[in-house]
Amino acid sequence: MKIAHILPALFVLSSTTMAGALSASAEAKAPLPVPTERVMPAYPRSAEAREIEGSVTLAFDVQEDGLVQNVRVVNADQPGVFDDAAVEAISKWKFEKGTPDEGVNIVVDFQF
């Protein structure tokens, strides 16, 4: 059975915010944006047919209104296989309003 997982344990902020670089202690105190609407990625048919598994690490920004922008692939263990599905799904996420941030990272895991 094919499954696309979002690994919340790896949902972390990078060292930058809209205000600029933070120290490690300030970053630890920064609240994480809280998702209010999540869209799970579709398992690509070509990967499913070949029983390929993998993960994609994405970075994105959360706007003041809770919408996601600037989604980009940071790392993929199967480059080009799952990238589009992961980017498309995360682009549709929504977060609590009033918690903007830049450089939010998340790992999307695709496995059977």
Give residue 31's pLDDT band: very low, low, confident or very high (50, 70, 90): confident
Q: Which helix (H) or strand (E) holds 8?
A: strand 3-13
| Predicted pLDDT at 112 | 80
Alpha-carbon gap, residue 84 to 71, rounded angstroms = 11
95-101 mean pLDDT: 92
CATH of the domain at 88: 3.30.2420.10
Q: Is the pLDDT of residue 24 over 50?
A: no
| Predicted pLDDT at 22 | 34
Q: What is the pTM of this model?
A: 0.76
Number of domains in the chain: 1
Q: What is the domain range of residue 83?
A: 3-111
CB 56 within 8 A of CB 76: yes
